[in-house]
Structure 1
Amino acid sequence: MKLLIVVASVLAAQSQSGPRPEDTEVWTPVPPVVTPGAYVATPPPSDALVLFDGRDLSHWVSVKDGGAARWTVADGVLTVAKGTGNIQTRDRFGSYQLHVEWRIPADIKGEGQARGNSGIFLASTGDGDTGYELQILDSYRNRTYVNGQAGSIYKQIVPLANSMRRPGEWQSYDILWTAPLFAADGTVTRPASATVMLNNVVVQDHAILKGATQYIGQPSYKPHGPAPIKLQDHGDPSAPISFRNIWIRKLS
């Protein structure tokens, strides 16, 4: 009888605790490792809008207050200034082609999600970490849940491959984003989708999103129009992430 009471108490405590972050972690199967080719520079095409050219943050604002973005620009590189918060584009976008280069520091410490954690919100739908997140993380020989490794649509879609370079080397994302569309009553008439290449290896192939990213619980849609693109100041204890050569081509 005592054993039954203990078990019942444990189950009751679990049911009262509600959803947990772990509930939406997927650990298997692990995507295959694919060694990418040598880095090749990808300059912006003639019709691209250059969002970061190595000189200033004129195309970006602070998500916290809408003021000037307070990340660091030096030697042609944009680096997260921890504690200053996320930054996002001044402009709003529908569907687009986006190129972003990013680098995890060579002396990165930690493991799992605490190893160079950041993200690109392909459409920012509000303050904080809201929107549709493409994960940035050191996934080079770093075990974590597979829907949270680099190349994943965070907590939603596992990448097809792990094509990371070593920390200290530049990584590249090339993204085709199809924005969701909504009817007047808020019904989704076209879900969002993304095709993503990590270091020129396809890791998302026209992936259909179930909604905006949720750290706890399931993704869901809320109606929105054209939206900014957001870069995340995750605030983990590892060294800050850097970016360069960010450009975009509007598709709609």
Structure 2
Amino acid sequence: MSMRSFISLVCCLAVASVACGQEFKSGIEWPEPKVITPGEKPSDPPSDAIVLIGTDGMSAWNGGEKWKFEDGVATAAKGGINTKQKFGDIQLHMEWAAPDEVKGSGQGRGNSGVFLMGHYEVQILDSYDNTTYFDGQAGAVYKQSPPMVNAMKKPGEWNTYDIVFTKPIRNEKGDVVAPARITVIHNGVLVQNSYPIRGSTNWHKPPAYDRHKDAESISLQFHGNPVRFRNMWVREIEPIEPTFVPEDTKMVRYRADWSTEKITAAPPKESEATAEEAPAKEEPNKKEEPKAKDAKPKKEEVKEEAKPQAKTEEPKQEAKKEEKPE
């Protein structure tokens, strides 16, 4: 077959497959996604972002007046600060730099932290050629999950954090039924991949979920080191919701807060698999039922002991026949 003939055949088959195929339509109706204007550079806030540290000072922060602010750069001093506005699910961008002059070691070198909802800390630390415990270095979910890699820049150079955070989901009793999750990109490198947070990140006790509201402040820690911050902005995450979902749809909806039942059974396929396994576990009991029936002839044999031997041999033979398949 010539190359031209081969190509023609392939094209014909492709056209035929398209003609025979049928487009899948979910039947779900969605609103049109909102149009926003992205920043010219990755560090620039998009049009729907809330600027926390920009060119206009520290007015977005409680306690912001305690920090030094100059030319769009805030330097940690005299205590921690927290945002006046409260947030739940967010996308957060921030840039930070450890001091130029290296002082101290371990946790005493370029230490700060960003707290989501005031409870869940992503560690900020000068981890460039600085030995410390791994779940306490830059990019770690403090005391819970070390970064997958150390992407730290040299002291004095600017680092970037891009963070996606979703709050924990609670039921009507206030119990956590879906953990908070966090994704952290440090200097363009993924270091936390949708990590399920185990609870509040404490220094002195194991993680556990504390009671808090669905929206809380973002906090920046002062740990005695003059860590610098700039270009910090946040976007509130609002998942797009369908306007109509047909009752017979087979589309699986994974958002935990759509339905309490979906939370406890998530993902749904697991509950279906469990239901299918249940009959399989009962099968051995069903197979043992004939054994119970087999026992009846034995009782009859006891009653018929006084009868002639010829009559008693027949049940015995039947019992033997029934025992063979077992």
| TM-score, normalised by the number of residues in structure 1 | 0.76
Q: How far is 1:181 from its partner? A: 1.8
Q: Of 89, 95, 116, which residue of structure 2 is paired with 1:101?
A: 95
Q: 1:202 aligns to what?
A: 190
Conserved in 1, the CA contact under 8 Å of 2:81 and 2:219?
yes
Deviations 1:49-90 (A, max 9, x none): 11111331111002xxxxx54111012200011xx2110000
Establish whether residue 90 from structure 1 lines up as the match of residue 79 from structure 2.
no
Q: Distance in 2 between matches of 1:181 and 1:143?
A: 36
Distance 1:123 1:162 in 2: 25
Q: How does 1:179-218 map to 2 (within 5 A)?
A: 179-218=167-206
Q: Does 1:244 align with 2:230?
A: yes
Alpha-carbon separation, structure 2, partners of 1:137 and 1:41? 23
> Percent of pairs identical after alignment?
47
Q: Which residue of 1 aligns with 2:295?
A: none
- The answer (yes or no) to whether the contact 1:69–1:87 under 8 Å persists in 2 is no
Matched residue type, 2:123: Q
Residue of structure 2 equivalent to 1:36: none
State the distance in 2 between where 1:57 and 1:183 align: 36
Letter in 2 for 1:100: M
How far the C-alpha of 1:136 sits from its partner, in A, is 0.3
Aligned 8 A contact 1:182 1:223 in 2: no
Q: 2:193 and 2:105 mapped to 1: Cα distance?
A: 28
- Of 223, 237, 242, the residue aligned with 1:234 is 223
SS at match of 2:113: strand
**In 1: Cα distance, 2:232 partner to 2:202 partner:** 26
The runs of at least 4 consecutive aligned structure 1 residues that moved more than 3 Å come to none
Structure (1 or 2) with the greater helix fraction = 2
CA drift of 1:185 comes to 1.6
CA deviations 1:185-239 (Å, max 9, x no partner) are: 221022101000000000000000000111112100022221100000112xxx4
Q: Which amino acid aligns with 2:175?
A: T
Distance 1:174 1:54 in 2: 20
- Give the alignment partner of residue 75 of structure 1, picking from 71, 76, 81: 71
Give the drift of 1:108. 2.1
Does residue 114 (structure 1) correspond to residue 92 (structure 2)? The answer is no
Q: In structure 2, what is the Cα distance between the partners aligned to 1:41 and 1:99?
A: 9
Please state how far the C-alpha of 1:118 moved relative to its aligned partner.
0.3
- Paired letter, 1:74: E
**Do 1:57 and 1:69's aligned partners in 2 also have CA atoms closer than 8 Å?**
yes
Match in the other structure for 1:168: 156
Secondary structure of the 1:113 match is: helix
Structure 1 runs not aligned, ≥5 long: 1-39, 63-67, 125-130
1:153 aligns with 2:141: yes
SS of 1:185's partner is coil
Amino acid at match of 2:126: D
Structure having the higher Rg: 2
Q: Which amino acid aligns with 1:123?
A: M
After superposition, the C-alpha distances for 1:9-36 in whole angstroms (9 at most, x for unaligned) are xxxxxxxxxxxxxxxxxxxxxxxxxxxx
Relative to its length, the structure with more strand (as a share) is: 1
Structure 2 residues not aligned, in runs of 5+: 1-40, 239-326
Deviations 1:136-194 (A, max 9, x none): 00001111000000000000111101001101100000000011121232210221010
**SS of the residue aligned with 1:147?**
helix
CA contact (8 A) 2:53 2:72 kept: no
In the aligned structure 1, how far is the partner of 2:102 from the partner of 2:116? 25
